Chain A
Amino acid sequence: MPALTRHIHPGWLIIAPLLVLVMALYLGPILNILWLSVTDPEPGFGNYAKLGESDALIRIVWTTVRICIITTLFSVTLGYSIAYAMVHCHQRQKNYMLTLLLVSFWISILVRTFSWLMLLGRKGLVNVTLEDIGLIAEPIAFMRNELGVLIGMIHYMIPYAVLPLLVSMQSLDMRVMDASRNLGASGSQTFWRIYLPLTTPGIVASTLLVFILSLGFYVTPAVLGGGKVLMVAEYISVQLLVTLKWGTAAMLAAIMLMGVLAMLWVMSRFMKLSTVFGGAAR
């Protein structure tokens, strides 16, 4: 036993049950998916070859990636200004803002999605008001198209973007900014050359979080896209439940998984990912 503990830290014993659970309940099904993608309907890489043969599949993947990039861009930018405002206002106001943020975080995605329809739909509050005061003759098509999907997704993702940024900004040593001003830099110079670079880990963290979560969006595109914005998650569900092409579904799931892993790997080339996830930069 002493020989064993010399090589294996006893701490592992405490986390062993968790590790076993994760292996059994998470890795198992993932391996099963990967296996399905090369065995259904017949063994081989036929499902993956479809990506090269079918324009439609490529288009669906591209639509997904495009929407996720735009969503991430807007969510992180808007999230940055919200987090900035929260860090730099009075404690009281900060608490109000944090409460509002968390409340929207907790509201079901379905409720938030359908609220947008009531607000921005063809007969929604905004269109009806604009028509009544005579600003527009025809309702503006905010919803049931790609714009609608983006509005719904960005709105849903902003709290996810804010939280990592908030943590990153709160941990900054503000004396550095004072020093910068003291040395003659203007306010905007200090922001662009000191503040922004110091919050990079927060930006990367919220970008990764928002992008990866966006890839799996299902409800929002299905409802707000009016059936014409087809993203990977919805397509996978149709292949599983309606058309019974489980191999295609597994292939797309595997592609998404590998895409995310590849993204993390590329990121790790440029920076220490541990700083993004809250570790110390060494």
Chain B
Amino acid sequence: MHDKQFMKETLQDSAHAYKEGRMDRRTFLALCGASGVALNAVLAGDAEAAADHVVMWNWGGQSEECHGSAIGDAFTASTGKGLKFDTSGPLEGKIKEMVDSGNVTADVADADLFNAVSLGPTGHLEPIDYSVVSKDKTLPGYALEHGVSVILYGYAFVYDTEAYGDNPPQNWADFFDTAKFPGMRSLYKWANGSLEAALMADGVAGDALYPLDMDRALAKITSIKDNSLYWGSGSEAHSMVVNGEVSMGMVWQNRGRNIENDTDGRYKLVNNQALAMPGAYIVPKGNPAGAAVMQFIATAQEVPAQLALLDCLGMTPSNPAAFGQIPDDQQDYAITSAKNIDKIVYNDPDWWGKNGGDAVNAFLEAIS
């Protein structure tokens, strides 16, 4: 362990030397080769990441550009370190595989807070350093040992104004009422959000959802099975609505504005009873950049970064200091805006972290 740390530091120094031209490439690579630690990083093609970059593991698409401009620029300005991306999507199984294989190439994963609950105790994540990261710059209960919520996204729904224009649906009860509101529905395929929506539709209060009553939720889900489709990605949810396959569709709230624009306002977002999901930054165990990543996370918590992420990706701020500064044109879409914050409910990452796997399987079995 000691040796490993020593090699890593040697390598960081030599990486600086290499960057500044004091060491040639061959010597640098030979040094990398001599140390077991960084050989992996060399194989992955970014040896320098070990020294002066933080590698963010996200979902690609627009997020690469947005994370760069919203967080990366400020992070580079204050620390001199760059930001690189791995856009392959940090699913829980991939994080576990990366850490188990000993070939950790990412520093921070753009994941869900419940991942911190399930992967933290098994030793796959670094603890968050709360001397650098602030517990006050996120919602209470969303700063956990192995992960901190940096943004919120919501499970909300959109409806077809041409079908229900005179008497629009107001809440999840209307969403699940296919007699009063005939038409197809779409829900998230991996249970999250869909279960909570079903329980609220069945009359459970938003603050009494957890622990989820699985039988009750699944009964409600299967009651509209013949009238529903299930999506597995944000773009699929988007296309099911935009292509007119459904009259009401559950979506990630940050997609709401794009859907309204793409359909010229025919579909409208409803944020009442939206389920706020804590999107979290988590750090794979043994990340190459070490403690430097904590500063990156702290940067993402700052108000300017929070507002920039809202502007660029539609992700809602989770830092209460930013709530009051949400601009007027985002009031309808951000779930923690003054307009919406009293109408939303909150996800419990602890329940999902401990029961999520079984819940997803039970859900898949019910809908297939």
A interface, CB within 8 angstroms of B:
56, 59-60, 63, 117, 121-123, 144, 222-223, 226-230, 235, 238-246
Contact = CB atoms under 8 A, between A and B. Distances in A.
A121 B189 CA distance: 19
Contacts of B333: none
B232 interface: yes
B93 A123 contact: no
B368 A63 contact: yes
Given A56-B365, A242-B356, 4 more contacts: A222-B232, A227-B229, A228-B229, A244-B118
Contacts of A117: 243
Nearest 6 CB-CB pairings of A with B? A227-B230, A243-B357, A230-B368, A241-B93, A56-B365, A226-B229
B361 interface: yes
B190 A228 contact: no
7 contacts: A59-B368, A60-B368, A121-B245, A122-B244, A122-B245, A238-B190, A240-B93
A226 B92 contact: no
Contacts of A144: 229, 245
Contacts of B229: 144, 226-228
Interface string B181-222: 000100001100000000000000000000000000000000
Contacts of B367: 227-228, 230
Contacts of A246: 93
A243 B361 contact: yes
Contact of B92 (A63, A223, A241): A241
B360 interface: yes
A56 B361 CA distance: 9
B266 interface: no
Contacts of A243: 356-358, 360-361
A139 to B, nearest CB: 9
A121 B243 contact: yes
B91 A228 contact: no
A235 B190 CA distance: 11
Given A244-B357, A245-B357, A123 B244 contact: yes
A222 B360 CA distance: 16
Interface string B158-177: 00000000000000000000
Given A122-B244, A230-B368, A242 B230 contact: no
A18 to B, nearest CB: 24
A242 B91 contact: yes
Contacts of A229: 368
Nearest to A143: B245
A56 B218 CA distance: 14
Nearest to B94: A241
B44 interface: no
B96 interface: yes
Nearest to B119: A244
B244 A241 contact: no
B93 A244 contact: yes
B346 interface: no
Contacts of A241: 91-94
Interface string B72-102: 0000000000000000000111101000000
A123 B245 contact: yes
A130 to B, nearest CB: 15
Listed residue (A117, A228, A239) with the most chain B CB atoms within 10 angstroms of its CB: A228
A228 B368 contact: yes
Given A241-B94, A244-B118, A230 B245 contact: no
B225 A228 contact: yes
Interface in B310-368: 356-358, 360-361, 364-365, 367-368
Contacts of B18: none
B59 interface: no
B231 interface: yes
Contacts of B118: 244
Nearest to B230: A227
A242 B368 contact: no
Listed residue (B118, B184, B230) with the most chain A CB atoms within 10 angstroms of its CB: B230
Interface string B281-306: 00000000000000000000000000
B226 to A, nearest CB: 9
Given A241-B92, A242-B93, A242-B357, A230 B243 contact: no
A242 B365 contact: no
Given A244-B118, A245-B357, A235 B364 contact: yes
Contacts of B361: 56, 238-239, 243, 245
A48 B20 CA distance: 58
